[in-house]
Amino acid sequence: MKTYTRGQLALRNGQDKPEIWVAFQGLIYDMTESKLWKNGKHYEHWAGQDLTPELADAPHSEKVFEKFTPIGILA
């Protein structure tokens, strides 16, 4: 898997670039096709960042990431 920097991840926020990426526990996931990430936003969460520390406030567990295939590693 390719490694991406936080800066590269930040650009995939659905605004600066059309891709919608998020990171969780060191892996990067492409949420571009997810209807729950429209325009780079999922409730109060924004794409282009590491969501690991925010999961504690989410109404779901980390198992939600099992539905998506990681596309990269966060450097």
What value, to the nearest 5°, has the Cα angle with vertex 71 and ends 64 and 19? Answer: 90
Which pLDDT tens digit goes with each residue over 6-29? 999 999 999 999 999 999 999 999
Q: Which domains does the chain have, with CATH numbers?
A: 2-74 (3.10.120.10)
What values do phi and psi take at 7, rounded to 5? -65, -40
Supply the mean pLDDT for the chain: 94
Task: Give pLDDT, residue 58.
Answer: 79
Q: How confident is the model at residue 66 (pLDDT cuts 50, 70, 90)?
A: very high
User: Strand 70-74 and strand 45-46: pairing?
Assistant: unpaired
